[in-house]
Structure 1
Amino acid sequence: MNIRFLFCFLLLVTGFCLAKAQTVANEVLSQDSIVLTDSTGCKYLVPVSVLSHKVEQPKEIQPIKKTKFHRPQRIDREIMEAVFIPKGQWLAGGTVSYSEHNEENLNFLVLKDVDGLGYSFNVSPYVGYFFRDNMAAGIRFAYNRKHLDLRNFELNLGEDFNIDLENLYYLEHKYEVSGFLRTYMPIGRSKIFGLFNEVRLTYGYAQGKNSTGAGTEYDGTYERSHNLQVGIAPGMAAFVTNWSAVEVSIGVMGYSFKWQDQKSNQIENGKRNTCSGNFKINLFSINIGMTFYL
C-alpha cells in the first residue's frame, strides 16, 4: 500500500514538472525569436527581447584623490615690500684704496732698527643690471699691487733668539674677475638709506717675486698663484643725489682656495695649496666706494 502511494506521488510530481516546462517553452516560442549558432555548431532559440535588453555597464571607478600635505603657512614679514631700486636700472661704480708706509730706524718693543718702505694699491670697478626690484646681477674687476722694500729688520727676543734680515724685497700683481648677485633692503620706508648683501664668485691670478740679500748672497723666488673664492660682502648704501650713492662694505667672508707655484733661483720648484673659511667681520677691511644708478 505504501509503495503504491509513493509511486503515484512521484508520477504526479513528474507530470506537474513536465506540464510547467511545456508552458514556459510555449511562452518562449510565442515571442519573436531568432536562432543562434555557437562555434561548436549547436543551435539555440533566443527571444529578441533578450537580445534587445540593455545591460547596464558598470560605473567607472573614480580614482582616489590624494590628499595634499598642507605645510604651515609662511609668514609674510613685508621686508621687501618697499622698492629701493626699481627693476630696469643699471648700476656702475668702483672702489679705490691706497696705503703707504715708511720706516727709518724704527724701534718698537722687540722690533729693532727697522728701515723700509712699502705701499698697497687696489682698484675695483663694477657694473650691474637690476632684473628685479631691489635685485641686481653684474660683473666686477679688480687689480691689486703690493710692494715692500725692507732694507733692515731685526727681531730681538733675547740673547738666544735674534732674527736679522737685510735687503728684503717683495712685489705682487693680482688680477681678479667676479660675478655677483646683489640684493637691497631699505631701512624702514627710507628712500635714502638701505642695506645690501652681495654674493660673489671670484677667480684671481697673481704674479709676484721676493728676494733677500745682495751680491753673491742674493736669493730670489718667482711665484704664480690662482685662487677661487665664494663669499658674501654685506654693506650699506646712502644716496647723496637721486642717481648716486656712497657705499660702505665689509671685506668678503666665505671660502677661498689657492694654488701656488714657485721657482727659486731658477732652479728649485715648490708648490703650495691652501683652503680656508672666514666668516669673521674685520673692521680693518672696510671698503668705501661710489655707485651710480642710471
Structure 2
Amino acid sequence: MKVKITLILLLLVTVASSMKAGRPKRIDREIQNSMFIPKGQWMFGGTVSYSEHDESNLNFLVLKDVEGVGYTFKVSPYVGYFIKDNIAVGARFTYNRTYLNMENFDLNLGEDFNINLSNLYYLQHKYEVSGLVRTYMPVGRSKIFGLFNEARLTYGYSTGKNSTGAGTEYDGTFEKSHHLQLGIAPGLTAFVTDWASVEVSVGVMGFNFKWQDQNTNQVESGSRRVSSGNFKFDLFSINIGMTFYL
C-alpha cells in the first residue's frame, strides 16, 4: 500500500514539473514601472477647430453653378485628476455648430438626368458630455514624449433645422437627436514645459448609437435609429490640442 502511495506521489510531482517546464516564461515589460505623470496631479486642456467655405459659381466634375457658404465650429475642453501614476479620470464637454446656406446646386449626370436644388439651409447645435479614463505610457525612459489612450463614454444631444425652397414652396424640418458613444482615442503627447504639453490624437473609434426625431412643417413627423461600430484610422479626424498639469 505504501509503495502505491509513493508511486502516485512521484507521478504527480513529475506531471507538475513537466507542466511548469512547458509553460512559457512571462516577459516583464515594465510598462507601468516608469512614471510619466505622478499621482495627485490635475490636468486640463482642450481642442478647438474651425473651418469655413464659400463657393461662387463653382463647377467641379458633375457639380455645376454651386453658390453657397458654410462653416463648422467645435470646442472641446476637458479636466482630469490622476488617481494613480499614469492613470487619470475626468470629464470632457463638447459644443459643435454646423451651418450651411446653399443658394444653388446643380447635379449634371447627363442630358436626361439633371437635378437642380436652390435655397438649401442647414443649422445644427450639438452638445456632448463624456466621462473618461486616460492612461499614459512614456516612450522608453523619456520624460518628454509619451503615448496615451483615452476611453470615453459620451452622451450627446443636438437640435437642428434644414429647409429647402422659399415662399409657398418652403419646406422646413426641425430635428432633435440623442446619441450614445463608447469608444477610445489614442494619441501622442510631448511636453514643451514642465507643466504643459502638446497632444495629437485621432478621432474616437468605437460604438455609436443615435436616435433622431423630425417634424416637417409642424405636420409630418419621422424618426430614425442608427447603430454602428467604427475602428478605422481616419487621417481627417486628427486633433491637436494643449494640456496643462498642476
Instruction: Please say whether Structure 1 and Structure 2 have the same fold, judged by a TM-score greater than 0.5.
Output: yes
What secondary structure sits across from 1:284 in the alignment?
helix
Of 232, 236, 241 in structure 2, the residue corresponding to residue 280 of structure 1 is: 232
- Pair 1:143 & 2:95 matched: yes
Higher relative contact order (CA 8 A, sep 6+): 2
CA distance in 1, matches of 2:24, 2:186: 31
Note the C-alpha offset of 1:74.
Answer: 3.6
CA distance in 2, matches of 1:178, 1:169: 30
CA distance in 2, matches of 1:136, 1:173: 29
CA distance in 1, matches of 2:124, 2:100: 9
Residue 223 of structure 1: aligned partner: 175
Note the C-alpha offset of 1:166.
Answer: 0.1
TM-score normalised over the length of structure 2: 0.90
Q: Read off the aligned partner of 1:141 and give its amino acid letter.
A: F
- Pair 1:248 & 2:200 matched: yes
5+ residue gaps, structure 1, are: 1-66
- Alignment length (residue pairs): 228
CA distance in 1, matches of 2:132, 2:124: 25
What secondary structure sits across from 1:103 in the alignment?
strand
Write the deviation string for residues 201-227 of structure 1: whole angstroms up to 9, x where unpaired.
Answer: 000000000000001000000000000
CA distance in 1, matches of 2:113, 2:235: 34
Of 106, 112, 131 in structure 1, the residue corresponding to residue 64 of structure 2 is: 112
Note the C-alpha offset of 1:262.
Answer: 0.2
Residue 171 of structure 1: aligned partner: 123
Moved beyond 3 Å, runs of 4+: 67-74
Root mean square deviation, CA, Å: 1.5
Note the C-alpha offset of 1:72.
Answer: 6.2
Could you tell me the percent identity over the aligned residues? 74
CA distance in 2, matches of 1:72, 1:138: 38
Residue 30 of structure 2: aligned partner: 78
Note the C-alpha offset of 1:73.
Answer: 5.7
List aligned pairs for 1:1-294, cutoff 5 A.
74-294=26-246
Q: Read off the aligned partner of 2:120 and give its amino acid letter.
A: L
What secondary structure sits across from 2:131 in the alignment?
strand
What secondary structure sits across from 1:76 in the alignment?
coil
Residue 29 of structure 1: aligned partner: none
Note the C-alpha offset of 1:80.
Answer: 2.1
TM-score normalised over the length of structure 1: 0.75
